[in-house]
A and B are shown apart, each in its own frame.
Chain A
Amino acid sequence: MPPRKKTTKRKVSKRRVVKKKAVRRRKPKRKSKAGAGSRYAWIKWLSGAALLVVLLIGGYSLYLSKSVRVKFDGKRWAIPAQVYARPLELYVGAEITANAFSEELQRLGYRKVKKITKAAQWTGYNNKYLVRTRSFDFQDAAQPGQLLSVQFDAAGISALKNISSGKAVDLLRLEPPLIGSIYPAHKEDRILVRLSDLPEHLVNALLAVEDRRFFEHSGINYTSIARALWANVKARRTVQGGSTLTQQLVKNFFLTSERSLWRKFNEALIAWILEARYSKNEILEAYANEIFLGQDGARAIHGFGLAARYYFDRPVQELSLAESALLVGLVKGASYYNPRRHPERAKKRRNLVLDQMLKQDFINEKQNRFARKKALNLSARKRHNSHRYPAFIDLVRRQLRRDYREEDLTSEGLSIFTTLDPAVQSVADKVVRQQLAQLEKQKGLKKSSLQAAVVIASSDDGEVLALTGGRDNRATGFNRALDAVRPVGSLIKPAVYLSALQDKDKYTLVTPLDDTSISVKLRNGKTWTPRNYDRKSHGDPALYQALVKSYNQATVRLGMDVGLNKVLGTLKKLGLNRPINVFPSMLLGASAMSPIEVTQLYQTLAAEGFRSPIRAIRAVRDSQGQELQRYPITVKKVVDANVAYLMKYALVDVMRSGTGRSAYRYLADDMVVAGKTGTTNDLRDSWFAGFSQDMVAVVWLGNDNNEPVQLTGSSGGLSVWAKIMAALNPLSLDMLPPEDIQHYWVDSVSGRQTGKDCDNAVLLPFIANSEPRQHTGCGRSVFESVNGWFE
């Protein structure tokens, strides 16, 4: 198209201008004319300004919208990792008492009822239980919930039956109990819930009390704002909020708690944006996960998922009408209506919620009446499960840190399946509490001055069953089981003797050692003269005797003969990772270790030379249920099985006739266990480490400020250990020897073979061809005497 001629335009405009000018000149200037013109101008200015404002708001909205989208769509919350204890396995023959079973059900939040109508309920009396289990998706196989009958006898579970099918059940896993979460630094804790998880009552209560027209409004409820404004004006202060659920969500989710006009404006805008971009359901779901519902010490409880656990110890799906109403009542003021601190207030508020529900036809008269009458029914534990096992969760966290970053643990919604056995943990905690108080009394120690740490693990695979970090195991704080690094004293001796026994031609259990006094020249020129506990020398005891009676002098001589580096090598094989000083004093345990490190050493001994890493975690899953990592059972043969057996045998004798024998004050006579006492200088640390067939346990007693506690390993640590073992009733050591081991009767004084009824006769194991060649002559058969002619 050819360009227009510019001149034509100009001509037109000129003409127009001229025309206008002509018109203006002709008409006189009148005020009214000027007013009409400025009115237009005023309108123009106003509409211009309005346009500008709209543009500004539009632009700002776009910007907000983007950040809203980023926050809302992507990772909406930092979901802490959920930590589970071991699932309880049920099978005929399982050594679970009826008591232990009902305690586990309690832990899982099951309710005892008269008649079972849904999952997580049980009934029972005497030794027969009926329970409807929850289902759980274990990684390897889903375990569907079922109606189960469980029968007990003196030995444990005697019968297991699925009531619906009538068939016997061979094996069933209850779901693993939730024991805590690893929540992030800013201390918000939550359990994510889907909208479908929320019971209808809960949603209805929310609508009834907080936002009647939630599903209808567009984010802001003008009538409710107007009403609130009027009420506030009347009272001349803020008495009512007119916020919708959306606005409350915005307040909680995005913004801090500033209360300014600008903030209100932002809130309104964002609420609009949310409503525009997201469905009502999505907003409601977000709300249900975000709303602040309580403070547990340093931990903030956000969302109905966690609140259900925290207040009622059950999953949100199982909340009753009354319970739902209580939680919704907390929305208005979680601290003010805290049911634990202000039960009366909380009850009133709950009933108000119920009344609102009735008024708005969400429930009927009967339901309202029934629910109002109910007691608050809060969970018995003042603190949520996560505060019951802080020491163990601390261990879990540290072990996870090797493979996961802190941010992943606290925000990715992982599920951590651990090895904890809550029943064993209960026993350990209880015994520690009671026995420490008793020891303080006995020894005249200052009350609450004595501290302790306990680690209990499974002998054959190193799984941690219980961890006690201190006398009050519910308190967070110094985790002595992991961090109290103390000289181990005589606990080190098995490593010395094991090193010697590995040279089977030179040392057997009956090899005489020299227990006379010894002075060792140290590298710094000084001399070290270790003394026996009783200040005496004991001549030349047999090797096993020196260990059993824990003679220092004989041990140091032996250790110096064997070589310090060899002893260090043995310690490393047993699982010691910490570097220690290779000085002669290491032979008597001057080296410091933590209780969990000692547990690793004794686990290898308990498993007869097969080391399994001490482990608290079995598996990790992501928020979708996909398995991220497994920590399988691993074993490593680090000590010859025959030598390990000799050591085990000697450690059993420690308990029968050595420094560990006072354990039998608490243990049954026919319970065979092995162990070692450990006492340090000036009686500052009192250790005991020992094992049964299935469990290895280490106990440390001492003072945080390192003052002497006047307790030896026998009088202190051992008493705690033995009481724990007596309560757990673990399996007795079966003492099955390996192939190359043979037992002989020997004379403990001369070291020669002897008859079983002769003086000083003891039955000892020997690696084939290492047994003593000579005989005392006592108790020998004629044939043997004859044979002796040919030697």
Chain B
Amino acid sequence: MKINLLPGLLGLLLLTPACSTKDQRDGPPAPIVKRGVQAPASGPVTMPITREAPSGVKITAYAPPEPIPHQQQRAGKAVELLIERADRQLQAKEFSGAVSSLERALRIEPRNAQLWHQLAEVRVAQQQLSKAAELAAKSNRYAAGDRVLKYGNWKIIARAKRAEGNKAAAKFAEKKAALYR
């Protein structure tokens, strides 16, 4: 589009208020809630679909999720223990043991991207690449802003697609991985 100077200057002047509209577009993400923990009712909540929403559902603009107090650390230790155990088992090539530990952890925190990723790694070690790719995709869904994890996941997917002979998909996955390098 051709920018006329005057409207452009006006636009620049009004840049500040425009910033607020940008937030609306991104939409308010909900606080990341770990299994075993209920999101505090006072935090920002999405789900304002209709104006006639029942009371209690606040419609707010984006705000970074409040860190959930000590509750957040509650389920953490048990899962940490299992992650460590799974790591050891993977190192020792005790694959079914590693899978057991990770599945146990997943039942405690099913939305933990790290766990899904680790499970994918075990499947890679077992040469079960297509299974690994599915698990990596699942991990990506919950990975939110974790770039390291997303990178790892896309690399696994790329590797699986290459093994399948699907060059196009492998290329796509490698491109995605590169975004998070």
Measured CB to CB, the residues of A under 8 A from B are: 89, 91-95, 139-141, 155-156, 170-171, 458-461, 544, 608, 610, 627, 630, 632-637, 641, 649, 652-653, 656-657, 664, 669-670, 672, 693-694, 731-732, 734-738, 741-745, 748, 756, 760-765, 781-784, 786-787, 789-790
Contacts and interface: CB of A to CB of B under 8 A. Distances in A.
B74 A633 contact: no
Interface residues on B, range: 35 or more
B5 interface: no
A613 to B, nearest CB: 12
B87 interface: no
Contact of A460 (B18, B26, B110): B110
Given A92-B78, A155-B71, A743-B26, 17 more contacts: A91-B75, A93-B37, A171-B82, A610-B138, A635-B135, A637-B138, A736-B29, A736-B142, A743-B24, A743-B25, A744-B24, A762-B49, A763-B49, A782-B17, A783-B17, A784-B21, A786-B7
Nearest to B36: A93
A787 B18 CA distance: 11
Contact of B51 (A170, A669, A761): A761
Contact of A781 (B18, B41, B101): B18
Contact of A652 (B27, B35, B39, B49): B49
Interface string B7-20: 10011001101101
A657 B52 contact: yes
Contacts of A694: 35, 110
A741 B30 CA distance: 14
Contact of B74 (A93, A141, A670, A756): A93
A575 B133 CA distance: 19
A656 B3 CA distance: 45
A732 B135 CA distance: 24
B38 A731 contact: yes
Contacts of A748: 50
Given A93-B78, A783-B17, A741 B7 contact: no
A92 B27 contact: no
Given A637-B137, A783-B14, A731 B35 contact: yes
B130 to A, nearest CB: 9
B96 interface: yes
- Find the residue from A627, A734, A737, A787 having the highest chain B CB count within 10 A: A734
Nearest to B58: A670
9 contacts: A94-B75, A170-B80, A632-B103, A656-B53, A656-B54, A734-B30, A735-B29, A737-B27, A744-B27
Most buried by B among A632, A672, A748: A632
Interface of B: 1-3, 7, 10-11, 14-15, 17-18, 20-21, 24-33, 35-39, 41, 45-57, 59, 71, 74-78, 80-82, 96-97, 99-101, 103-104, 106-108, 110-111, 119, 131, 134-135, 137-138, 141-142, 144
B78 A737 contact: no
A742 B38 contact: no
Contacts of A732: 33, 38-39
6 residue pairs, one from A and one from B, having the closest CB atoms? A93-B74, A743-B27, A91-B78, A783-B18, A140-B100, A669-B56
Contacts of A765: 27
B57 A669 contact: yes
B146 to A, nearest CB: 12
B101 to A, nearest CB: 7
Contacts of B54: 656, 664, 669
Given A170-B77, A790-B1, A756 B59 contact: yes
A782 B14 contact: yes
Contact of A649 (B15, B35, B49): B49
A641 B111 CA distance: 15
Contacts of B57: 656, 669-670
B108 to A, nearest CB: 7
A633 B106 contact: yes
Contacts of B76: 93
Contacts of A633: 103, 106, 119
A735 B101 CA distance: 28
A736 B32 contact: yes
A669 B144 CA distance: 27
Contacts of A156: 36
Contacts of A762: 49-51
A192 B55 CA distance: 59
A636 B132 CA distance: 10
Contacts of A94: 36, 75, 78, 108
Contact of B71 (A89, A93, A632, A649): A93
A734 B47 CA distance: 9
Contact of B47 (A140, A652, A693): A652
Q: Is the interface of A mostly helix, strand, loop or mixed?
A: loop
Contact of B31 (A139, A672, A734, A787): A734
Contacts of A93: 36-37, 71, 74-76, 78
A734 B32 contact: yes
A632 B126 CA distance: 14
Nearest to B99: A632
A423 to B, nearest CB: 14
A280 to B, nearest CB: 42
Contacts of A790: 1-3
A783 B108 contact: no
Nearest to A765: B27
Contacts of A756: 24, 59
Contacts of A763: 27, 48-49, 59
B10 A786 contact: yes
A694 B35 CA distance: 8
Given A91-B75, A610-B141, A765-B27, A657 B49 contact: yes
A170 B78 contact: yes
A731 B56 CA distance: 17
B144 to A, nearest CB: 7
Contacts of A738: 141
B7 A653 contact: no
A460 B111 contact: yes
Contacts of A736: 29-30, 32, 142, 144
A241 to B, nearest CB: 52
A781 B16 CA distance: 11
Contacts of A786: 7, 10-11, 14
Nearest to A138: B100
A478 B108 CA distance: 34
A734 B49 contact: no
Contacts of B41: 670
Nearest to B145: A739
Contacts of A760: 51
Contacts of A672: 45, 47
B11 A783 contact: yes
A656 B47 contact: yes
B110 A458 contact: yes
B106 A461 contact: yes
B125 to A, nearest CB: 14
A670 B42 CA distance: 10
A756 B20 CA distance: 13
Contacts of B18: 781, 783-784
Nearest to A618: B103
B72 to A, nearest CB: 9
A491 B77 CA distance: 40
A641 B19 CA distance: 29
Nearest to A661: B54
A182 to B, nearest CB: 24
A201 to B, nearest CB: 39
Contacts of B3: 790
B141 A636 contact: no
A745 B24 contact: yes
A735 B35 contact: no
B11 to A, nearest CB: 5
Contacts of B45: 670, 672
Nearest to B56: A669
Contacts of A761: 51
Instruction: Tell which of B10, B31, B110 has the most Cβ of chain A within 10 Å.
Output: B110
Contacts of A171: 77-78, 81-82
